[in-house]
Amino acid sequence: MSDQQGLFVKMALDAWNNEIKFTNALLDKLTDEQFMHEVAPTRNRGIYLLGHLTAVHDRLLPLLRFQDVMYPDLSKPFLDEADKAVADLPSVVQLREQWKAVNTTLTDHMGRLPAADWFTRHASISEEDFAKEPHRNRLNVVLSRTSHLANHRGQLVLLTLR
């Protein structure tokens, strides 16, 4: 591992951890009732965004080659379907618990992964394709998911204006 690799990993994981921290603070501030509102007229509800983010982060576990997903039942209502397409969603209380569990598990795995291993392939790319496209690595996945989280956190902030 080079010092430069370690620096890149630290910068990316610091950004990830900060985004998780800011999102957790926002989620703690929102009431269960606020989660039932749309972030804007005809847009997703807060409960859908919380479920979506939880499902996306859960899928990071196998994508980063850490472990299997923890909550496979979240994929259909929050990744495969649009908001309001599935009538029977988990409760906000349950989703809050799953959000925390998934991110605690991710943080534990991320903290143990050596810096050099962040530059290895993620699970959705073959060894052959990775040899041609080494930028498709685990660290790049975290960078893209950090942006994804920041985008949806911005939408969730709109629930505080209600």
Could you tell me the pTM of the whole model?
A: 0.96
- Per residue in 56-97, pLDDT tens? 999 999 999 999 999 999 999 999 999 999 999 999 999 999
DSSP string, 138-156: HHHHHHHHHHHHHHHHHHH
d(CA 117, CA 61): 15
**2 band by pLDDT with thresholds 50, 70 and 90:** confident
- Per residue in 4-59, pLDDT tens? 999 999 999 999 999 999 999 999 999 999 999 999 999 999 999 999 999 999 99
- Per residue in 99-141, pLDDT tens? 999 999 999 999 999 999 999 999 999 999 999 999 999 999 9
34 φ, ψ to 5°?
-60, -35
d(CA 123, CA 110): 15
Q: Which CATH class is domain 3-161?
A: mainly alpha
The pLDDT of residue 1 is 53
The pLDDT of residue 61 is 98
